[in-house]
Structure 1
Amino acid sequence: MRRLWITCLGVGVCGSWLACTPAEIKPTTGGPEPGTLPSSSGVRVLDRVRVGFNPIGVAVTPDGQFVYTADSTSQTVTKVSTATRRAVSTIQLNVHPVWLAVAPLHGWLCVTARDEHNLTLLDLTGNYVVASLDLPYNPEQVIVNREETLAYISNHNAPFITVVDLQHRNVAQNLSVGGTGQGLALTLDGKALLMTLQNEQFNFIAVSTVDQAVLGRTNAGSAPTTIVLDPAGVYAYVANQNSNDVSIVHLPTVHTVVTFPVGRSPVDMKISPSGKYLFVSLKGDNRMAVVDTVSRQVVQTVDLDITPWGLGLAPDGKTAYVADYDVRSVYQEAFNASQPNMTLGNSATRRVDNNALLVISTEIFP
């Protein structure tokens, strides 16, 4: 097996890359059992933004000015201003979008539509369709390489990763990965594609983007969905929907270091710019959890009274955006990572006509 080495600026968490081993993270015991999470503290819902029906994917622009939602039932993409917390435009697609990725150099939003075997490229400024590409399979998640020459797409019920040439706007390759893909990520140097596979014994795989050689395989939890990397690019965090936990994979050795509980059915996840916190949407608990990456404990949660799905994070890490798959809303959370034990006032939630209305504390952070 070839070893996968990651390069980045500065000194890694191990001090020396050659000395970097899985032992650098020491497993701990404890943590919340699924469904018994601590109550909200330091996290509060700020607002509800009306978007299209049944939003799934969420994407935030690199400048943090806009958030996009993939509105699967209404067949639209909604563009939301983060300054006003209001939808500023709705783009009709006539396909059922699921996941999103921003390509800022092109000024595009990449949108997958599973039912229609489609990838749509939207112009971020003009809010119009640049191109609509037919794909061979049912696409799921999409990511774009740093040069924005290629898009990688996982496929539902197909053991291939579809590679799209963004310059020529066509399918360049269907990469066989031996199982149905779901989560995708690229290493910081772009030399390895990381993916999760469904119903496979070794369900986390690293593949060379140069020659498509398998660099390593390991086992995460059950039904892994989303992959995020720590800022140094040494560890990958994998959300496991069916086993209600998150796995940490050491990338230089492609080895699972530890798996810890976070709550029921984690489906999407982002990491703070400092790498100190994970933000996890918990579909089974109707909550968003904040996880300390050092202790691997859930330190804060917020009750959403919705079915959360896609999760986006502002570039400064101060605001999260969670799509509710059941109603026409995107909920916005704010937190103060420097005061993880801050408590909020009383809050209440209720549902009205298949929409969500949150009545929350007006207490603000200092």
Structure 2
Amino acid sequence: MTIAVLVVLTGSGFDAAPRWPTRIQVFVANSGSDNVSVYSPRLGKVTATVQVGDYPTGVGAHPAGHRVYVANESSDTVSVIDTRTLAVIATVPVGANPYGVAATRTHAYVTNFGSHDVTVIDTTTNAPVATIPVGRSPHSAVASPDGSRVYVTNNGGDSVTVINTSTNTPVATIPVGIFPAGIAISFDGKLLYVANTGSNTITVIDTADNGPSATAEVGSAPLGVAVTRGGRVHVANTRSDTVSVLGPTGQPLDVVQVQRMPEGAAAAFDDSHVDVTNTGSDTVSVIDAKTGKPAAPFAVGAQPEGVVVTS
């Protein structure tokens, strides 16, 4: 397998970047420039900029890696990007102010912040097929590894809605902290991690009984969450310009300094790195998932928010 190493600025204080498999791509939704930056770790540069709808925020990937779904908050649509051609192949109408996206093999689930529901999109036809009522102001979503459940944070309801994907109905509501935003799930599907922006905490949820099992303090205004295959949880703290690194049960491990206003976070499937969008500096920080050391950030479009890594 061909590998490459990102160039690090002399005297920058960053560690050398991790090694990268050839087919990894990082998709970054730039809310301020209405586009998506596509970054190739192997080449060490942004290889494409894809124009999407108005104010793109959340971004999610199909489990097979051939499609990326971008929530356009101000145009009430989702742009579907083919990851091979890097072209928008469909624009799907959804609810009011879509923000987050989670995809299973058959459907994409879009959180509509303004209409308090979730639009379900058929991933074969790219057509909306259902609308699911959830809690107030749904923010982000994540699918279980087997695709049987989708978990939605309700930013205005201080809760998480659990959706059964075989029936597309809510089956549970889990209380969490204040203003829950980002959400991530462990690779084995046993633990959920919810960033509570208003209480500066992470809620750890046991998916076996949908009960909160732990609460951990993090930095100021946590938003994005990503968990590696090895179980390290990375939390983007927007107001403290840091990433908190936690163990699987919420135990503190490290704090990584990044650039201004980190917001989104995504972990690579191969456990090599975590990418964090810095909304205030129009960059993405790259953190080695094993050592916790940051490599040199790369520049993207204006006000990057959502990020996803595909292969």
Q: Indicate whether the TM-score tops 0.5.
A: yes
1:273 aligns to what?
Answer: 269
Q: CA deviation at 1:284?
A: 0.7
Query: Which letter maps to 2:204?
Result: A
Q: CA deviation at 1:41?
A: 11
Contact 1:55 1:70 in 2 (8 A): yes
SS in 2 for 1:311: strand
Deviations 1:7-48 (A, max 9, x none): xxxxxxxxxxxxxxxxxxxxxxx769xxxxxxx996322122
Compare relative contact order (CA 8 Å, sep 6+) and give the higher one, 1 or 2: 1
2:299 aligns to what?
Answer: 303
CA distance in 2, matches of 1:76, 1:59: 14
Root mean square deviation, CA, Å: 2.2
1:70 and 2:87 equivalent?
no
Rg comparison, structure with higher value: 1
Contact 2:274 2:287 in 1 (8 A): yes
2:216 aligns to what?
Answer: 218
CA distance in 1, matches of 2:309, 2:42: 19
Task: Provide closer, same or farther for how the CA distance between residues 134 and 272 of structure 1 changes in structure 2, counting only shifts above 3 A.
Answer: closer
1:246 and 2:243 equivalent?
yes
Match of 2:205 among 204, 207, 211: 207
2:289 aligns to what?
Answer: 293
Q: CA deviation at 1:299?
A: 1.6
Deviations 1:140-166 (A, max 9, x none): 111122332322111112221112222
List alignment gaps of at least 5 residues for structure 1: 1-29, 33-39, 316-366
Q: CA deviation at 1:120?
A: 0.6
Contact 2:277 2:305 in 1 (8 A): yes
> Number of residues paired by the alignment?
274
Contact 2:102 2:142 in 1 (8 A): yes
Q: CA deviation at 1:58?
A: 1.1
Contact 1:228 1:269 in 2 (8 A): yes
CA distance in 1, matches of 2:110, 2:80: 13
Deviations 1:82-111 (A, max 9, x none): 22221111112253211101111xx10000
Identity of aligned residues (%): 24
1:255 and 2:251 equivalent?
yes
1:164 and 2:177 equivalent?
no
Contact 1:31 1:261 in 2 (8 A): no
2:228 aligns to what?
Answer: 230
Contact 2:117 2:131 in 1 (8 A): yes
CA distance in 2, matches of 1:152, 1:192: 11
Deviations 1:253-291 (A, max 9, x none): x21111110111111122233323221211011112222
CA distance in 2, matches of 1:82, 1:41: 16
Written as runs of structure 1 = structure 2, the 5 A alignment for 1:26-105 is 43-104=44-105
Query: Which letter maps to 2:101?
Result: L
CA distance in 2, matches of 1:282, 1:48: 18
CA distance in 1, matches of 2:257, 2:60: 26
Question: Comparing 290-299 with 112-121, which one deviates more in the overlay?
Answer: 290-299
Deviations 1:40-95 (A, max 9, x none): 99632212212111111112222222221111111111111222221111112253
Task: Provide closer, same or farther for how the CA distance between residues 45 and 56 of structure 1 changes in structure 2, counting only shifts above 3 A.
Answer: same
CA distance in 2, matches of 1:260, 1:64: 29
Query: Which letter maps to 2:217?
Result: N
CA distance in 1, matches of 2:154, 2:129: 22
Q: CA deviation at 1:191?
A: 2.6
2:184 aligns to what?
Answer: 185
Contact 1:103 1:148 in 2 (8 A): yes
CA distance in 2, matches of 1:227, 1:276: 16
Deviations 1:162-199 (A, max 9, x none): 12222222222221124321121222332322212123
Query: Which letter maps to 2:236?
Result: A
Q: Normalised by the size of structure 2, how large is the TM-score?
A: 0.81
Query: Which letter maps to 2:107?
Result: W
Deviations 1:302-355 (A, max 9, x none): 22251111112112xxxxxxxxxxxxxxxxxxxxxxxxxxxxxxxxxxxxxxxx
Higher strand content, 1 or 2: 2
Task: Provide closer, same or farther for how the CA distance between residues 178 and 246 of structure 1 changes in structure 2, counting only shifts above 3 A.
Answer: closer
Dislocated runs of 4+, deviation >4 Å: none
Q: CA deviation at 1:298?
A: 2.8
